[in-house]
Chain A
Amino acid sequence: MSEYDFLVLGAGGTGLAAAMYAARLGLKTLILGASHGSELPIGGVITTTDIVENYPGFAKISGMELTKKIEEQARSYKLVTIKEEKALEIQKNKNHFYVKTNKGKYSAKTILFATGTKWKKLEVAGSEKFERKGVNYCALCDGPLFRNKIIAVVGGSDSAVKEALVLSRYAKKVFLIARHDIHPETINLEKLKQDKKIEVLKNTNIKEIKGEEVVKSILLDKPYKGKKEMKIEGIFVAIGHIPLSDLAKPLAVKLNESGEIKINDETTETNVKGIFAAGDVTDKKFKQLITGVSDGCTAAYYAYEYITKNKLYVSS
Chain B
Amino acid sequence: MIIKVYSTPTCPWCIKTKDFFRRNNVKFEDIDVSRDARAAHEMVKKSGQMGVPVIDAGGKIIIGFDEDKLKKTIGI
Contacts and interface: CB of A to CB of B under 8 A. Distances in A.
Majority SS at the chain B contact face: loop
B50 A214 contact: yes
A213 B47 CA distance: 12
B40 A141 contact: no
Interface string A3-21: 0000000000000000000
Contacts, number: 67
Interface residues of A, number: 26
B14 to A, nearest CB: 7
B50 A145 contact: yes
A228 to B, nearest CB: 25
B70 to A, nearest CB: 13
Nearest to B37: A147
A241 to B, nearest CB: 17
A136 B10 contact: no
Interface residues of B, number: 22
Interface of B: 8, 10-16, 33-35, 37, 40, 44, 48-52, 63, 65, 67
Given A132-B63, A145-B33, A40 B12 contact: yes
A145 B52 contact: yes
Given A132-B63, A144-B33, A145-B33, A213 B12 contact: no
B51 A142 contact: yes
A50 interface: yes
Contacts of A290: none
